[in-house]
Structure 1
């Protein structure tokens, strides 16, 4: 039997008591499932009017079950059992969670780093590539597709037999892919990327990798009536109130894996929450933690414990705690409704992402040479070059340690946070993510860690549109070997450098302090930066 578990304590429980009765009185749950676009105010009405079809995906995505199953069988008969997913943000995070939860291999390529892309272009004789993009205009995904097309062709393999495209009907990619003879699966165009877990974007790559996508839809459909009910027991109204209705607002959400069967759910929820709420100077900042303990939550945080399907009997761990459990398909729908509810309580439009677009434009400007004067480095410290933006805060720092200390001195001790943004290899450099724990201990404030450019489609929106309380540490490197993009006049190395530079510039334009540490020698530089962030203890 499919079930959902939401239990709040402390300030989160107070928020449930304060807000759920009025949400019920206003018929918010029923109106969400009736796709009432007026719930978030006049300014949001146009966008919301074309972004609410996710409420019925448990039923409307049923046709994909047979279609994907037949395609998987056809590919397996050809010996194609390695699935690579080229997609960013909402196009990649849900399939990653689905496959990890079922213990299935899926290569998720959500980077424009040439070393990462090159590492995925292997074992072509058994590889099928899913290219996922709503419009096809996402430069990362377009570049990845071009690289694979060239690799297949060079190997004497017809790309049309190896590439499956998931996109909105009538998009430029839809038309181009059909002309090229590729298999195309259209997604529901009235669903935004981060709400698309149960559309073709979530289900096609997962199903091709062997996931039971029918069970996901069953679980979502089984809880739809519960989540649509205007009743004080509605788990989505309770969760939305607990995360978005505390007073004063606890705008940091520590998403802690506390025994959940859904592997990596925190990273999926991070994008949904940060990109949906981080705008108009407000929002909720998710801090994803892979295990309980290790970090002391600040007073402006709510701990969200991702617990087993049947709940957790342990006592709350903080003054504001929410336990959330349930099967994966049910939780996808739960979190989507709860985020929409939180958006209403925060007074924002949960369906747009204006600052994601600003960072993309800044990257395009740098690529075209119209991005303004080039910013020079402040100094070099061995294998690391150092540059600061967003104000005159560096002082007389002359080495990496002093530069890091100067950045951390800008952290607001009551409301601030540190964002580490690593434009590196998510797999090869995975141990570097552990610096977040050392930094959190050092500053006593929340620390997030994002792999670039992946985070640009997630917390990148909150960085620029949310409260001006963050400081930003960007780590970049020189690729070991660059990779041209077939049919384009740029390389992946040039592109990821423009993405990093564009994001840093937009942050600086918003008055955010940014420290850029560029590794001129990758291994030595990364070791040097790691020691500096740990205060010399690493």
Structure 2
């Protein structure tokens, strides 16, 4: 339950009850309808979607029939390509132990780095005792004969799945396999991906089982095939006695939407929305979430839901995992921040932390975990929509990201997208590093010194203008380099500045949290990292041109939005990147030390 004695929270709860906000949400009328619509079309099918699926059982049976058909075809490896809400749910399921279901393995794919394709191919090849290169038809046939790719887009303009499917179809043709037997597409009518599927005569399925289009991508779970098909595959391949109906029925029972409508003050996710709203400053709030190891995979889904839905007009909720913030740091603050502990323990000790008590998290079987997960999806969506209502934020759509998509599309037409920034000024150079800065930044002696100077200016501004630090890595990095950068970013943010830090991986992050960075709260500094040269794909044709275009296009779009954003380019290959990156962050930490 929420912290006792907070009159503001009581006021927000009273407003939700008095204005019948949840009734508006369910009936799709009033202010809720306006805030939940995109281009005049309500995107609120997710609110009652589970109830409708339970009433129309044949819709769930159709998904289960699809899963059984995939099983009968002998598919053992399923690559799920999509961006943002089209794939994050699959990431969550895989991280929670549902990636390997009997004889089937799921591979989420949301990167345009050829290394991501190589990783999947190498994983499949090891299970078949194959080694690259994979060029001849016989080897490719053995490699791909039991592999399927599902391409998903819950938006109209996503192109990454098209590039993956194009690459995969060409490989299938080289392997003398029939593409239509190894691919499936789920998308909106008329989308870029839908046009591609028609050209390829690829089998298509509606995202919503009822064929509707009223569910935004980040609300894809649990009522669209983005959640339902992976779960149906798990149940099929493990020969479970459970069904989609039984899992959703338990989830809907735990969700207690009737309770939220009739007694808002007694529903944990309504309480949370009110607490977040009242803690916000000018509509902006930082949420630091603590969860058990079992439920940590859910964090990335919550992060996307909140930031893509609410990060608009300088408002929104920025989500972090719980982090130890130094109260002596120059930017430390207790205002505008809420610490939340998500727990199954109804007797959790009271503290300044908001206790989000969800008894159904205490599960014993995989099927119970799936039901609990679906309930969490529904609950957090309720919190998001109520926060949007209280702060008058349109929570449908993500208009800011269309800017960078258009830029990336244009940059891909160049022989090398890096040509676009070849003569950018100011650019700081040091050995293999190039730091491209906003035009108003005063250059210092080195890239690290320039970055720290900007951090200090924000940290010591009046009023203080630094609430979090973002480091975004474009493409793949070796795990030890990734961990080193993450540790440095958190030390700089948590310990030296007293603020939370994000370490994001792009391009996936550009479809999940970039809306917030471009149009949400602007009190942050972002460092984008791009290595110039990437791996070559080990089979077929796929380059890093899209990855480069995305890195540059998003950076340009951030500058256009007046965001304090740097682009750090390492001139070299992956093997050349570790040492200069580690040196950059070592110098950053050193220069941020008190007294420097």
TM-score by length of 1: 0.86
C-alpha change, 1:30 and 1:40, in structure 2 (3 Å) is closer
Q: Does 1:433 align with 2:466?
A: no
Any conservation in 1 of the 2:173–2:179 contact (CA below 8 Å)?
yes
Any conservation in 2 of the 1:194–1:271 contact (CA below 8 Å)?
yes
Shift of 1:537: 6.6
Shift of 1:270: 0.5
Matched residue, 1:383: 432
Gaps of 5+ in 1: 1-6
Which stretch of structure 1 is more off in the superposition, 357-366 or 270-279? 357-366
Any conservation in 2 of the 1:424–1:452 contact (CA below 8 Å)?
yes
Any conservation in 2 of the 1:92–1:202 contact (CA below 8 Å)?
no
Q: Does 1:282 align with 2:315?
A: yes
Any conservation in 2 of the 1:83–1:205 contact (CA below 8 Å)?
no
Matched residue, 1:140: 160
C-alpha change, 1:217 and 1:227, in structure 2 (3 Å) is farther
Shift of 1:238: 1.4
Measure the CA separation in 2 of the matches of 1:88 and 1:187: 14
Q: Over residues 40-75 of structure 1, what are the superposed CA-to-partner deviations in whole Å (9 max), with x where a residue is unaligned?
A: 65x875646420110122133454543333333333
- Higher radius of gyration, 1 or 2: 2
Q: Over residues 98-119 of structure 1, what are the superposed CA-to-partner deviations in whole Å (9 max), with x where a residue is unaligned?
A: 3332443431111111222332
Q: Over residues 128-155 of structure 1, what are the superposed CA-to-partner deviations in whole Å (9 max), with x where a residue is unaligned?
A: 2111113563111111111111122222
Matched residue, 2:354: 321
SS in 2 for 1:9: coil
SS in 2 for 1:164: strand
Matched residue, 1:85: 80
Which stretch of structure 1 is more off in the superposition, 498-507 or 323-332? 323-332
Measure the CA separation in 1 of the matches of 2:282 and 2:246: 37
- 1:86-125 alignment, distance < 5 Å: 86-105=81-100, 106-122=106-122, 123=124, 124-125=144-145
SS in 2 for 1:360: helix
Shift of 1:190: 0.6
SS in 1 for 2:273: helix
Aligned residues: 521
Matched residue, 1:268: 301
Matched residue, 1:330: 375
Measure the CA separation in 2 of the matches of 1:528 and 1:27: 56
Q: Does 1:60 align with 2:52?
A: yes
Shift of 1:436: 3.1
Matched residue, 1:28: 21
Q: Select which of 360, 367, 377 maps to 2:412.
A: 367
Which stretch of structure 1 is more off in the superposition, 271-280 or 198-207? 198-207
Any conservation in 1 of the 2:85–2:217 contact (CA below 8 Å)?
yes
SS in 2 for 1:418: strand
Shift of 1:170: 5.4
SS in 2 for 1:411: helix
Matched residue, 1:51: 43
Gaps of 5+ in 2: 101-105, 125-143, 237-242, 362-371, 591-596
Q: Over residues 441-471 of structure 1, what are the superposed CA-to-partner deviations in whole Å (9 max), with x where a residue is unaligned?
A: 2222222221111111222111111232121
C-alpha change, 1:420 and 1:438, in structure 2 (3 Å) is same
Matched residue, 2:197: 177
Matched residue, 2:252: 221
- 1:115-514 alignment, distance < 5 Å: 115-122=115-122, 123=124, 124-135=144-155, 137-169=157-189, 171=191, 173-174=193-194, 176-177=196-197, 180-188=200-208, 189-198=213-222, 199-210=224-235, 213-222=244-253, 223=255, 224-229=257-262, 231-246=264-279, 248=281, 251-259=284-292, 261-289=294-322, 293=324, 298-311=333-346, 313-316=348-351, 318=352, 321-325=354-358, 326=361, 327-368=372-413, 375-376=423-424, 378-389=427-438, 391-398=439-446, 400-412=447-459, 414-416=464-466, 417-425=468-476, 428=479, 430-431=482-483, 432-440=485-493, 441-482=495-536, 492-514=543-565
Measure the CA separation in 2 of the matches of 1:433 and 1:206: 32
Any conservation in 1 of the 2:314–2:522 contact (CA below 8 Å)?
yes
Shift of 1:204: 1.9
TM-score by length of 2: 0.79
C-alpha change, 1:47 and 1:217, in structure 2 (3 Å) is farther
Measure the CA separation in 2 of the matches of 1:372 and 1:152: 35
Matched residue, 1:3: none
SS in 1 for 2:289: strand
Measure the CA separation in 2 of the matches of 1:121 and 1:181: 25
C-alpha change, 1:523 and 1:171, in structure 2 (3 Å) is closer
Measure the CA separation in 1 of the matches of 2:173 and 2:347: 52
Shift of 1:477: 0.8
C-alpha change, 1:132 and 1:51, in structure 2 (3 Å) is same
Shift of 1:166: 1.4
Any conservation in 1 of the 2:348–2:355 contact (CA below 8 Å)?
no
Any conservation in 2 of the 1:407–1:515 contact (CA below 8 Å)?
no
